[in-house]
Every structure is written in C-alpha cells, then in structure tokens.
Amino acid sequence: MQLRSFMSSKIHKATITEANLNYVGSITIDAELLDKAGLLPNEKVLVVSNTSGARLETYVIEGQRHSGYIGINGAASHLIGPGEEVIIIAFTLATEPVAPKAILVDKDNRFVCDLTEEQASFAPQTA
C-alpha cells in the first residue's frame, strides 16, 4: 500500500497578529482554534500567505486560549508579517483519503464556521 499525503486540518483566512524574529521558530496559535481545527502542538504545518504568496513549513505552539493570537516566530518572520492573511494547513500520511477538518476565522481570528460542513453542502449530489 502506498502512503499519500492528505490535508487533515486547515485554518482559513487567519490574520498574523505578531512576528517575533527573536523567538525560536514556529507558529503560535490560539488554543481554541487548535481545538476547532483539530491541530496539535508540535504538529507540522504549511503556512500560506494570501497577502504576499509566501509559503513556509513550521510547527505549532499552543497560544493563549480565546486570545485570537497567531504569531509567526523566528526566521519565518522574514517571510510573513503582522497583518498578513494566511491559510494554515496540516497534512497526514494515509493509504486512503481522510476527512479533513477545516475552519474559517474572521479578521480578528475568531471562529466563524466549520468549512468542512460548508464544503459538504456544495459537494455534487450523486444519484
């Protein structure tokens, strides 16, 4: 059986609230958003800037719950800065497709809706 990489979690349209060059690398994310998106501390993520087009891989650090904080740390802060809109994506290795968990947040990084359910409502109907 061949292992393939499938999207497992996504936080869509998040806003970077801080960039800290002097912190050891990572992305710090509000713990509430981690729970809602199914992300775990130390999990590898791809961060894609909708603002600049920059893409980078790093790992997750749990931030203060209900803070709305999403901070880029270390060298990554040269690529993505405060105010940029990003998508944060985690992947998993599996032999079959997995059901991903995707959430949408507002400009203050507050949970808006579960995109997993939204996507299901737009899926083509099979006969």
pLDDT digits (tens, 9 = 90+) for 18-59: 999 998 879 999 999 999 999 999 999 999 999 999 999 999
Is 5 a known active-site residue? no
Tell me how far apart the alpha carbons of residues 11 and 95 are, in angstroms, rounded to a whole number.
24
pTM for this structure?
A: 0.89
Q: Is 69 helix (H, G, I), strand (E, B) or coil?
A: coil
Q: Which of 26, 49, 52, 69 is catalytic?
A: 26
Beta bridge partners of 6: 92
Residue 112 domain flag: yes
Residue 96 domain flag: yes
Task: For residue 69, give its domain range.
Answer: 4-122
Q: What pLDDT shows up at residue 25?
A: 77
Checking if the pLDDT of 118 tops 70, the result is no
> CB 59: neighbour CB atoms within 10 A?
14
Checking if the pLDDT of 105 tops 50, the result is yes
Q: Which of 59, 69, 77, 121 is catalytic?
A: 59
Domains in the chain: how many in total?
Answer: 1
Is 26 a known active-site residue? yes
Q: Is 108 helix (H, G, I), strand (E, B) or coil?
A: coil
Q: What pLDDT shows up at residue 116?
A: 79
Residue 127 domain flag: no
Q: What is the CATH number of the domain that holds 17?
A: 2.40.40.20
